[in-house]
Structure 1
Amino acid sequence: MSLPEVVSRAQWRAAREELLVKEKVVTHARDALNAERRRLPMVEIDKEYVFEGGDGKATLLDLFEGRQQLVVYHFMFAPEWDAGCRSCSAFLDQIGHLAHLRARGTTFAAVSRAPYTTILPFKARMGWTLPWYSASLGDFNDDFEVTLERDGELVERPGLSCFLRDRDRVLHTYSTYERGLDGLGSTTSLLDLTALGRQEEWEEPAGRASALGAPAGSERVLYHDEYED
């Protein structure tokens, strides 16, 4: 095994400060990329998708649960599988407490092609309580390019899609797939993919921090049991 060399504390500090300069460059570049993502145009969803969940059939608008934004994780779970994808399961395991997303008007849900009757026992096995819907009743997975035909066979790939609600209009704002999911899972990393972002005053483009009519900054970061859902 090749390991870094052992040095004095002073040498380590000097090397760490040199690396910190590069890390700050990446942080600023990420902020700029997130701002550019928030400036992406949107596409109105005029197709009626039907899902199945714990309360029966639901539309894409229903998945918002009344909030302004929706983040959908495209969980790989084909109809013929007995269990969900291991990598997708690891991804859901690292999702933070949903109260922090919901406090910023954002709903998180998983969607798979497997029937809900197959999803439900696997969800119970994993101990997850997050919303999870079956898209087996339509072509949602096909339209959002997570179920693809390759060499005459249907294959699954993981992905994540973001939506914005304007009254009863649903707008598709962003999607990413496979390696684009690297590093995601925390509340801030998911909000960074949305049109409204973290809703902080320092974010560009300006004017979206107050979109939900709530105070920005540390006043909005509470213990998860203090939020009013």
Structure 2
Amino acid sequence: MKTPPIVSPQEWQTASEAMLVKEKELTRARDALAAERRRMPWMAVEKDYRFEGPDGPASLADLFDGRRQLIVYRAFYAPDVTTYPASGGSYPERACGGCSFGADQVAHPAHLNARDTTLVYASRAPQSEIGGLKQRMGWELIPWYTLTDDFDKDFGVDEWHGHNAFIRDGDRIFRTYFINARGDEQLGTTWSFLDITALGRQEAWEDSPEGYPQTPAYAWWNYHDAYGEEASRSVDRVV
């Protein structure tokens, strides 16, 4: 391996400061892109999609769990899904390797819930198998539903994984964003999930359309077991 040059502390600090300039540019560009996402047009969801959940049949509206925003990740876990690597087991012990890699990185959902946002996974496996997989893999905190109709085909995730973001406005549901392939790589943290939603992080420093809900940065942050019910469920707020 051909390594970079070995330098003095002063030279290293100079190189670090030069790198920081580029990293700040990337951070500002990422914030600007998230601001554009908050201005994406909304697509009305007209069909009545149905799922199976741990408590029985569920509608798309039910997946919101009383919150305003919803992110649905299409995970591949079913009898016909090839796992990766091949030596690591097969269905029902294992789901798709890439989807599993992503599930291992999902932050505690209480922080998303506090921003009026729910994250769920959906796949074709029955709930009996999903429950076992979640327990084996330590994914108990991820709500996981069974697809029963054309939801995956209609939202571009029948042949490949991806995240779809939705928002509720009264009784109506709208699709607000979609990302897949390598775009999924950066997802997993609370911030990365919120940055693909229509309302964003909902902090006062953000460039958001007029009237969007915003609070001071840091003011809403809390321990994941200390958020109150009122903070977690506020779907009736209007933009």
- Matched position secondary structure for 2:103: helix
CA shift, 1:79, in A, is 4.3
Matched residue count: 217
Match of 2:150 in 1: 139
CA contact (8 A) 1:199 1:208 kept: no
Match of 2:193 among 173, 190, 193: 190
Match of 1:107 in 2: 118
Pick closer, same or farther for the CA change 1:88–1:5 going to 2, 3 Å. Answer: same
CA shift, 1:197, in A, is 0.1
1:128 aligns with 2:139: yes
Q: Within 1, Cα distance between the matches of 2:111 and 2:219? A: 12
Q: Taking structure 2 as the reference length, what is the TM-score of the superposition?
A: 0.87
Q: Within 2, Cα distance between the matches of 1:15 and 1:209? A: 40
State the one-letter code of the partner of 2:196. L
1:67 aligns with 2:70: no
Percent same amino acid at aligned positions? 48
Paired residues for 1:1-229 under 5 Å: 1-81=1-81, 82=91, 83-129=94-140, 130-135=142-147, 137-148=148-159, 157-207=160-210, 210=213, 215-229=215-229
Deviations 1:82-131 (A, max 9, x none): 13111111111111111100000000100112222322211221121210
CA shift, 1:64, in A, is 0.2
CA contact (8 A) 2:38 2:209 kept: no
Q: List alignment gaps of at least 5 residues for structure 1.
A: 149-156
State the one-letter code of the partner of 2:60. L
- Matched position secondary structure for 1:61: helix
Q: Taking structure 1 as the reference length, what is the TM-score of the superposition?
A: 0.90
CA contact (8 A) 1:50 1:59 kept: yes
Deviations 1:37-91 (A, max 9, x none): 1100000101011000111000000000000000111111234341311111111
Q: Within 1, Cα distance between the matches of 2:151 and 2:62? A: 15
State the one-letter code of the partner of 1:86. G
